[in-house]
Amino acid sequence: MDTNDNLLSKIQSRMSDFSKGQRLIANFIINQYDKAAFITAAKLGATVGVSESTVVRFAGELGYDGYPGMQRALQAMIRTQLTASQRMGVASDRMSRDDVISSVLESDMDNIRNTLGEIDKAEFERIIPQILAAKNIYILGVRSSAALAGFLSFYFNLILDNVRLVQTTTASEMFEQIFRIDKGDVLIGISFPRYSRRTLKAIQYAKGQGASVIGITDSKASPIAQEADMSLTARSDMASFVDSLVAPLSVINALIVAIGMSKKQELFESFEKLEHIWDEYQVYEKYSTDVQPGVSAEDEVGE
């Protein structure tokens, strides 16, 4: 199919050709596509009163290689459209109320597995020297992606001395911090659905100034990846109104480790110095794991 948006129009145009059971599926998808995108073929069938095999055949009738292909098309179509309240509705249908923790952790594990299978490892290897050769590295993430940007910036600052975390309280402040970006610099823009317009505008500005742009996002089809020179993708499928950032964080971890391994000696020397500073200024609490009989760990630390 040419575009994901054609799915609903194709279903509507073929309604008269469908069997009774297929029309039940079609009507459910047209009217509740936000739910259909995130439920199994078996559950969709049970919801409308047909068999799972009927749902699978319906997807094949539309030109998809099975139900997962049709479901991915639905997910791509609505990824930027679901409101927070709609995502709450999706979560209610997808997750067990009796075991939320298992539902969320299993969803996150699926995201990591799918990310591992889909990530472009050659692109990852090309990104490393680009970062290492940069004059300045700007890191930008807005809203929930700000946590990812902060994490990446924290560790990059331990390894490199040319890293700038772009603070994004207002659009004007953001552009004031990147207006000197130039050829030879790198901007790392991080954004996941619903994509930040500010991040996209910053990426476009950086490219216009001659800087290289690395995107960290959920898909090569995302507006971030489309604008970036290179990109890394990680699954962030919506389990609820909370953005699932486990797989993106794993990709960022890999990026940090790869950069660290490329500057192993410098990093070792930096940590040697930092350990003395941390000890001198008592940055970290130190305590013994050997607790004396009759003395609690809390009492020992208190002493």
Asked whether residue 169 is assigned to any structural domain, the reply reads yes
Higher pLDDT, 84 or 222: 222
Q: State whether 158 and 74 are in the same domain.
A: no
Asked whether residue 300 is assigned to any structural domain, the reply reads no
What local confidence, expressed as pLDDT, does residue 97 receive?
Answer: 63
SS3 of 2-48: the string is CCCCHHHHHHHHCHHHCCHHHHHHHHHHHHCHHHHCCCCHHHHHHHH
Cβ-Cβ contacts under 8 Å for 232 (sequence gap 6 or more): 119, 120, 123, 124, 127, 214, 215, 216, 217, 251, 255
Read off the pLDDT of each residue in 223-241 and give the average, rounded to a whole number.
84
Confidence band for 82, pLDDT divided at 50, 70 and 90: low
Asked whether residue 193 is assigned to any structural domain, the reply reads yes
Give the pair of three-digit tokens for residue 42: 């078996």
Q: State whether 241 and 130 are in the same domain.
A: yes
Looking at 243, 259, 275, which one is the last position of a domain? 259
Q: Which of 110, 80, 124 is nearest to 251 (CA)?
A: 124
Looking at 18, 46, 78, which one is the last position of a domain? 78
What local confidence, expressed as pLDDT, does residue 251 receive?
Answer: 97
What local confidence, expressed as pLDDT, does residue 289 receive?
Answer: 64
Q: State whether 18 and 137 are in the same domain.
A: no
Q: State whether 124 and 247 are in the same domain.
A: yes
Q: Which of 1-15, 147-161, 224-238, 268-282 has the lowest mean pLDDT?
A: 1-15
Asked whether residue 179 is assigned to any structural domain, the reply reads yes
**In total, how many domains does the chain have?**
2
Confidence band for 291, pLDDT divided at 50, 70 and 90: low
CB 136 within 8 A of CB 272: no
Q: State whether 163 and 239 are in the same domain.
A: yes
Q: State whether 67 and 127 are in the same domain.
A: no
Q: Which of 105-114, 136-145, 200-209 has the lowest mean pLDDT?
A: 105-114
Q: State whether 212 and 159 are in the same domain.
A: yes
Asked whether residue 20 is assigned to any structural domain, the reply reads yes
Q: Which of 142, 103, 146 is nearest to 237 (CA)?
A: 103
By CB atoms closer than 10 A (0-12, 13-18, 19+), residue 241 is: middle
166-175, 242-251, 253-262, range with greatest mean pLDDT:
253-262
Q: State whether 15 and 124 are in the same domain.
A: no
Asked whether residue 143 is assigned to any structural domain, the reply reads yes
Other beta carbons less than 10 A from residue 188's beta carbon: 29
SS3 of 184-220: the string is CCEEEEECCCCCCHHHHHHHHHHHHCCCEEEEEECCC
What local confidence, expressed as pLDDT, does residue 72 receive?
Answer: 81
Q: Write out pLDDT tens, residues 203-231.
A: 999 999 999 999 999 888 789 999 999 99
Confidence band for 3, pLDDT divided at 50, 70 and 90: very low
What local confidence, expressed as pLDDT, does residue 208 receive?
Answer: 96
Average pLDDT of every residue of the chain: 85
Q: Find the CATH number of the domain harbouring 174.
A: 3.40.50.10490
Confidence band for 4, pLDDT divided at 50, 70 and 90: very low
Q: State whether 152 and 246 are in the same domain.
A: yes
Q: State whether 153 and 249 are in the same domain.
A: yes
Q: State whether 155 and 248 are in the same domain.
A: yes
Q: Find the CATH number of the domain harbouring 31.
A: 1.10.10.10
Asked whether residue 140 is assigned to any structural domain, the reply reads yes
Asked whether residue 94 is assigned to any structural domain, the reply reads no
Q: State whether 73 and 124 are in the same domain.
A: no
18-22, 83-87, 93-97, 130-134, range with greatest mean pLDDT:
130-134
Q: Which domain holds residue 22?
A: 6-78
Q: Which of 76-90, 208-222, 242-256 has the lowest mean pLDDT?
A: 76-90
CB 77 within 8 A of CB 4: yes
Looking at 242, 259, 276, which one is the last position of a domain? 259
